[in-house]
Amino acid sequence: MMWLFLATACLTCGTLNAGGFLDLENEVNPEVWMNTSEIINYNGYPSEEYDVTTEDGYILSINRIPYGRRHFGNTGPRPVVYMQHALFADTAYWLENYANGSLGFILADAGYDVWMGNSRGNTWSRRHKTLSANEEKFWAFSFDEMAKYDLPGIIDFIVNKTGQEKLYFIGHSLGTTIGFVAFSTMPELAQRIKMNFALGPVISFKYPTSIFTSFFLLPSSIIKAMFGTKGFFLEDKNEKIPSTKICNNKVLWILCSEFMSLWAGSNKKNMNVSRMDVYMSHAPTGSSIQNILHIKQLYRSDEFRAYDWGSEAENMHHYNESRPPLYDLTAMKVPTAIWAGGHDSLVTPQDVARILPQIRNLRYFRLLQDWNHFDFVWGLDAPQRVYSKIIALMKELL
């Protein structure tokens, strides 16, 4: 949808060269063409990359920044932090601003061992021990499975690799959903989390105001007819979408900015427009149609449940219950800090207010009145207004 919008606008709003063709040959940021490991190295940090195989056979790529630039030569044990990206993103999500404005680099420079995971089905985690990504069975997952298999598998790997029994968890958007599901249903996993940092948490999805959420009003049958039953918005890691050049064009970048405001809320003054092509080049990384349908089930709902397979028989097969089980956030004991944006049109303050009473160990909450959904990762003032507080709260638990 986004790329169709940008391409259409490109035909009507661009500048034409002497031959009558749109000129998009502006200089592109080199990070547009880099994967996460290359971005880390490009910024002068050490990078490690690993594969993690989940209990149900998915092979996930994860990235690590073991220490910051100021810590070269001092490679002793450091407190571990794990970061989980949003829908349609990847591990580069935490590194797309300059080093002094990206949470991944800031944490590394603050003395943390930084790990970042790719959710199953995205560009870098589209492998399985026995299944091909061309098979429908490969795509039979939602954030349920990301919480049940991906997160425990990755945390086990990190614990074994580092020797650190406990770590900090940071999630944004759907990354927070994965954390909340996992920590409320798996007490043994929850015991390994020192603190859960939730940025723009997606639990209640009843009051979004983004115009694009009207997509969820379509019947599931229509969504499947339009997009199939496998992957959704899949990226080819060997190519970059046309919007990358559109968003770098001196005239057309405003189209990208306007689209992002319609999608996630307006706060244009808080974004580095010179990095727009970098932001757009690392999305969409793809997910499953089933994951989209699970989010659709949350839309306008009063309940936070596991995926509804569409019939009592199928639900009985998966859950031994005729209805999908409720996720009980009151069962989660992990210390939790939450930030929300007042201009966030995806996760509105009304939705956040619905979940706060359910968080029994809420250590910190702040509503940033002028922030939208993307400010948590791309906001120019994020280091001062959020990241510094995250580090302060971490240090209190050392």
311 noted as active-site residue: no
Amino acid (1-letter code) at residue 153: G
Q: Give the Cβ contact number of residue 289 at 10 Å.
A: 23
Cα Rg of the chain (Å, integer): 20
Whole-number pLDDT of residue 310: 95
Secondary structure of residue 299 in the 3-state scheme:
strand
DSSP 163-229: --S-EEEEEETHHHHHHHHHHHH-HHHHTTEEEEEEES--S-BS----GGGGGGGS-HHHHHHHH-S
* 173 is an active site residue: yes
The values of phi and psi at residue 170, to 5°, are -125, 125
- How would you label 346-377 residue by residue, b for 16+ Cβ within 10 Å and e otherwise? bbbeebbebbbebbeebbeeeebebbbbbbbb
| pLDDT digits 0-9 by tens, 119-162 | 999 999 999 999 999 999 999 999 999 999 999 999 999 999 99
Helix, strand or coil for residue 392?
A: helix
Rounded percentage of the chain residues whose pLDDT exceeds 90: 76
The residues of the chain scoring below 70 in pLDDT are: 1-27, 71-75, 236-246, 248-253, 266
pLDDT score at 267: 74
pLDDT at 274: 84
Q: Which amino acid is at 22?
A: L
269: exposed, middle or buried (Cβ count in 10 Å: 0-12, 13-18, 19+): exposed
Q: Which residue in the list 125, 184, 373, 375 is annotated as catalytic?
A: 373
Query: Out of 109, 344, 351, 375, which one is annotated catalytic?
Result: 344
Q: Which residues contact 302 (CB under 8 A, 6 or more apart)?
A: 206
Sign, CA dihedral 116-119-124-128, equals positive
173, 204, 288, 345: which one is catalytic?
A: 173
| pLDDT recorded at residue 258 | 75
